[in-house]
Every structure is written in structure tokens, then in C-alpha cells.
Amino acid sequence: MSAVVLRNLDLGPIDQVAYVVENLEQALPRYEAMFGPFQAATYEMKDCVIRGRRADCTLRLAVNNSGPVEIELIEVVAGETTHSEHLKQHGEGLHHVRFRVDDLEPKVAALEAEGYRTVLSKRFGPTIAFAYLESPPEIGGSVIELFQMVQ
């Protein structure tokens, strides 16, 4: 295996750890035992870009903000997403970690220049957007999320 040397990606601290689950209602008691209560909601996301193609999906999300790092649980309600891919390939478990960024597109471009690949993205407006990126295979092919929310 070849060595991969990345320049400093300057992402800052992780602010979220996200798990994908088959059934949110069944998973909540297990995760609440570790992290405390969650707030759940369903989101219809139109016009996401998933592996370069436009697609719609519906996700049921639960978040816990009781500690310094947000914990998110994700259930796919409709559509094929990177979350449903993860469930098919690996089952339930850790899906991604998130970093907040001030300006999404330049940070995505910088990561892509380092060998990361954008696998899911969505812009909700001028101030809110996210992108999931897979790391190069040489460093595990794990997923990170970049999240922009300018207030």
C-alpha cells in the first residue's frame, strides 16, 4: 500500500458523531442508555446530489446535544442514500463524523484535491449546506461531513 501524505486539512474539532440505524424507534432505547434523550424529526430532502446524481430522500433523524459533541441517529425512510449503502454493506453503526465550516465549497474543493470524494451533498440556501466526503481508500475510506450554517 502506498503512503498517503495529506496537508493540514484545517477542519477544527469534530462536532458530531452520526450512526445509521435500521429502525430509529427500536434503536433509541439503546442509544439513550448511553447518551440520554434524543429529539427526533423526519426530513424530506429534495434535490440532493448522491454520487453525482440528483435524487430525493427522506430521513428520520434523532439528535442528542447533552454533551460537547452532538450524537445523531439516522434512519432512511425513502430513497437510496449513502446511509442505505452503509446499512447494506456494514449494517448499523458509525456512519460519519462532522466538522463545521464557514464556507463549504472551497473546503470541499480542498479535500477533493487531497483525494477525498464527495458522495452526498445538499444546499438548503445561501447559508446552510452540507457535504459527505469519503476519505481516500489508503486511509480507510471513512466518511466525514462538512456542515455550513452561517448565522
The whole-angstrom separation of Cα 68 and Cα 47 is: 32
DSSP string covering the chain: -----PPP-------EEEEE-S-HHHHHHHHHHHH---EEEEEEEEEEEETTEEEEEEEEEEEE-SSSSEEEEEEEEES--HHHHHHHHH-SEEEEEEEEES-HHHHHHHHHHTT-EEEEEEE-SSSEEEEEEEPPGGGT--EEEEEEE--
Hey, what's the cell of 71?
Answer: 450524537
Q: Are 49 and 82 in contact (CB under 8 A)?
A: no
pLDDT-derived band at 4 (thresholds 50, 70, 90) equals: low
Closest CA to 81 of 62, 54, 57: 57
CATH classification number, 16-149, choose in 3.40.30.10, 3.30.300.30, 3.40.1670.10, 3.10.180.10: 3.10.180.10
Q: What is the pLDDT of residue 134?
A: 95
What pLDDT, on the 0 to 100 scale, is given for residue 55? 94
Q: What is the pLDDT of residue 121?
A: 96
Cα–Cα distance between 90 and 36 in angstroms, integer?
A: 25
- What pLDDT is stored for residue 9 in this prediction? 83
72 vs 82: CA distance, rounded Å: 15
Query: Is the predicted pLDDT of residue 65 greater than 80, yes or no?
Result: yes
Q: Over the chain, what is the mean pLDDT?
A: 92
* Residue 6 pLDDT: 59
Type of residue found at 120: L
Residue 110 pLDDT > 80: yes
Question: Is the per-residue pLDDT at 8 higher than 80?
Answer: no
Single pTM value for the model: 0.91
Domain boundaries, the chain: 16-149
